[in-house]
A and B are shown apart, each in its own frame.
Chain A
Amino acid sequence: METTYREAMRTAIREALLQDDRVFLMGEDVGAYGGCFAVSLGLFEEFGPERIRDTPLSESAFVGAGIGAALNGMRPIVEIMTVNFSLLALDQIVNNAATLLHMSGGQFNVPLVIRTTTGAGRQLGAQHSHSLEGWFAHVPGLRILTPATVEDARGMLWTALEDPDPVLIFEHGSLYNLSSELAEDAGPVDIHAAAVRREGGDVSLITYGGTLPLTLEAADRLAAEGIEAEVLDLRTLRPLDDAAILATVVKTHRAVVVDEGWRSGSLSAEISARITESAFYELDAPVGRVCSAEVPIPYARDLELAALPSAERVVAAARQAVGGGG
């Protein structure tokens, strides 16, 4: 069955609402409006205003309320319209959701799921386009998911709701219209392991979320040149699947990390560091990185595209890693 990422996410939310009375969706314009990105379209009509709960523009209060409700037996799904708005709730996410279990010596876990849109590519300018998931991946106590496929959009939510601790799901805005075949019986998927999306023995392209499609495109172009790239989709940014990263680097001896976040102090920096820490003597080339230019994402189409990772840049970085006759 051909399904879009958006529909898959909606199906996942609907399934959760049907299967567990404790689940409810809360956020700005998730109800009557149908969700800023139309993910929750139709759910308000089906489940009513108690369980599809429109909130005032009070990110800190409704994220905090989600934490409180989670502490008190509910399984809230809190939608933050975009990752840039999550900064208004940073106190609740970092100071409360991530710390309560630890500060209470294991007494209070927070089974909360936060969904938010991330990333650029839609000419939304510098306050709606940033990729800040790497920041959140810095924080112990959180689990960070980045579904990059329709299957993961369909399957990660339920597993996240079953997790006893706070889970943040970052949905890249450019993926909502992604469409692919989804099995009729598609259901929950694991949220701890990275996935090899394409096998290859010459260079490892390590990525997640919104840059997976362009990385796969780059791998196809490389194959035409005789370079077989392995594409690793991290899926979960915290905790990172170190074993999968190590395995692909040990296999190919070359790695390029593709990350839409800025390069400085980024998730790509973390992955690169881990590779040098654990697989230095397996490397045949310096670890390469393809990241966003260090500018606030501009509005103009050409400038925006120039700022973002592209298949061309991934191909170039992979060629450089392979070197020599390539």
Chain B
Amino acid sequence: MVGEFRMPSLGADMERGTLVEWLVTPGDHVRRGDVMATVDTEKTVMDVESFEDGVIAELLAAPGETLTVGTPMARITPTPASVMAPPATAPVSTPVPEAEVEPEQTTPSPGARVPSATPPVRRLARGLGLDLTRITGTGKAGHVTRADVERAAAEQRTDAGAVRSVRVSPRARRLAGELGVDEANVAGTGPHGAVTGGDILRAAKGNEPTGAEGRPGAQNGPGPTPGPADPGQRATGLRRRIGTLMSRSKKTIPHYYLGTTIDLQAALTWMHAVNAQRPVSTRLVPAALLLKASALAARQVPELNGFYTEARFRPSPVVHLGVAVALREGGLVAPAIHAADTLTVDQMMERLRDVVTRARTGHLRRAEIADPTLTVTALGELGVDTVYGVIYPPQVALVGFGRVRERPWAQDGMLTVHQAVNATLSADHRVSDGLRGGRFLDLINDVLQRPEEL
């Protein structure tokens, strides 16, 4: 029986796709889940995977061809698992042309000859972080097979296990992140030597225990409260977490970016008039207006407000606006102002002051960290004109505001000077598109032209 690899449906509205590139050649062994080809779906170029195990018998489509969903693209001969193992002897050697070697090979050992391997196998090795030149090929002419890579991966795991098995409890992992402790350097006292929450708390205090001291039965009362960690250490932990999060964002979220310049003349005139009547402690700053405008706009463009989880977008019925706050020791946090769309400007100002103060003193509540549905980053105070932000997963958009400053303003054939700001939107193309994103920026602009309605 021969299986067929067909043009897959990669979205509810996809009718056809164009084959961009084959990543396999006839004779290749493929497994369920291996990437077979890349396909242009009019919307984006995507990797498409095999849904069966077998050997590529024949490629039926050529790159550049546009095929309707369901059209066979290749034939796959299913192979029993035993056949997947490499033959003991290699009858004929087929040299692999140089051109097939991918340039972005993972750090090959200097001077080493890059062995031949099929693209899926190379991809697998890359995914497992293995250096292909260090793997002994058992295939024809030293050809590295899938089995070789899997064996090498298993050996690597065993080696690592022999050195040190690091088990970290979920609570310990969370606390390590929060306190900036590197759990790899903490001796575990839990089941099977696992690092426990208590171990992390002690490490954070700098008195890592030895032996029986770590046992819960020997603890004095409830666990110690997390003390203020060394700021430098905190920053390192924070930087690492931001790094992880942003890498994930850039890897998984197809960002698109829009920008516009918003005239703030009306808004600031109104704000100054209001402030003139008030004591310093309750005066408004432009950021409060920008946040309020963003929250109102988000309510009307639900595709930008919510979470993308489990391969689908869940819009949020309320707008919890994350406010990016730069910390003095470096790094960023973006705590939420809850139900921002329902706050008055004064309430917004009050919440903004509160949250920024607490963020900088490390006193945020967990819910504030956890649940912003849309983040706003205003970097004006750093002298930046335009922000090109990275979305915080699982959110689907980020709004950026640069410095509010005077600029030449051409209007109705006249050139004047206006206060203005560059507003940008980074948004997730899986959920929204330029039309909706543009509408969002328009709405912010509209609101800011009528500040008295804020």
Contact = CB atoms under 8 A, between A and B. Distances in A.
- Asked if A and B touch directly (CB within 8 angstroms), the answer is yes
A52 interface: no
Contacts, number: 82
Contact of B172 (A228, A284, A286, A326): A284
A42 interface: no
Given A225-B217, A325-B214, A320 B191 contact: yes
B173 to A, nearest CB: 8
A306 B130 CA distance: 49
Interface centre among B171, B190, B198, B217 (most CB of A within 10 A): B217
Contact of A253 (B197, B218, B221): B197
A323 B189 contact: yes
Contact of A325 (B172, B174, B192, B211): B211
Interface stretch (A144-152, A210-218, A275-283): A275-283
B219 interface: yes
Interface string B336-379: 00000000000000000000000000000000000000000000
Contacts of A314: none
B216 interface: yes
A67 B194 CA distance: 53
Given A202-B216, A227-B217, A253-B197, A322 B171 contact: no
A77 to B, nearest CB: 44
Given A202-B217, A283-B169, A323 B190 contact: yes
B191 A323 contact: yes
Contacts of A324: 188-191, 193, 196, 212, 214-215
Interface residues of B, number: 27
Nearest to B190: A323
A253 B191 contact: no
Interface residues of A, number: 25
A321 interface: yes
Contacts of A321: 191
A227 to B, nearest CB: 4
Contacts of B174: 281
Contact of A284 (B197, B213, B221, B222): B197
Contact of B170 (A226, A227, A280, A320): A280
A271 interface: no
Contacts of A322: 190-191, 215-217
Interface centre among A228, A251, A253 (most CB of B within 10 A): A253
A280 B169 CA distance: 9
B190 A285 contact: yes
Interface string A49-72: 000000000000000000000000
B171 A281 contact: yes
Contacts of B196: 253, 284-285, 323-324
A43 interface: no
A194 interface: no
Interface in A276-321: 280-286, 320-321
Interface in B217-238: 217-219, 221-222
B182 to A, nearest CB: 18
A218 to B, nearest CB: 15
A205 interface: no
Contact of B222 (A201, A280, A285): A201
B216 A283 contact: no
B216 to A, nearest CB: 4
A203 interface: yes
A63 B75 CA distance: 62
A284 B171 contact: yes
Interface in A183-220: 201-203
B191 A228 contact: no
A27 B49 CA distance: 63
A283 B217 contact: no
A243 B195 CA distance: 27
B191 A226 contact: no
Interface string B159-172: 00000000001111
Nearest to A202: B216
A64 B67 CA distance: 62
B194 A283 contact: no
Interface centre among A202, A280, A286, A324 (most CB of B within 10 A): A324
B217 A226 contact: yes
Contacts of B222: 201, 251
B66 to A, nearest CB: 46
A286 B190 CA distance: 10
Contact of B189 (A227, A282, A325): A325
Nearest to A285: B191
A325 B171 contact: no
Interface in A247-263: 251-254
Contacts of B215: 226-227, 322, 324-326
A226 B213 CA distance: 12
Given A320-B191, A324-B189, A282 B214 contact: no
A135 to B, nearest CB: 30
Given A320-B191, A324-B189, A284 B169 contact: yes
Contacts of B170: 280-283
B169 A203 contact: no
Interface string B168-184: 01111110000000000
Interface centre among B169, B174, B194 (most CB of A within 10 A): B169
A323 B212 CA distance: 10
Interface in A11-57: none
A320 B189 CA distance: 12
B57 to A, nearest CB: 43
Contact of A323 (B173, B192, B221): B192
Interface in A156-193: none
A318 to B, nearest CB: 11
A228 B215 CA distance: 11
A257 to B, nearest CB: 16
B218 A226 contact: yes
A322 B215 CA distance: 7
Interface centre among A201, A203, A254, A326 (most CB of B within 10 A): A326
Nearest to A228: B217
12 contacts: A201-B221, A201-B222, A203-B216, A225-B217, A253-B169, A253-B197, A281-B173, A285-B194, A323-B190, A324-B188, A325-B189, A325-B211
9 tightest A-B CB contacts, nearest first: A323-B191, A226-B217, A324-B189, A325-B215, A325-B212, A284-B196, A202-B216, A284-B169, A281-B174
Given A254-B216, A320-B191, A324-B212, 4 more contacts: A282-B170, A282-B197, A285-B190, A324-B189
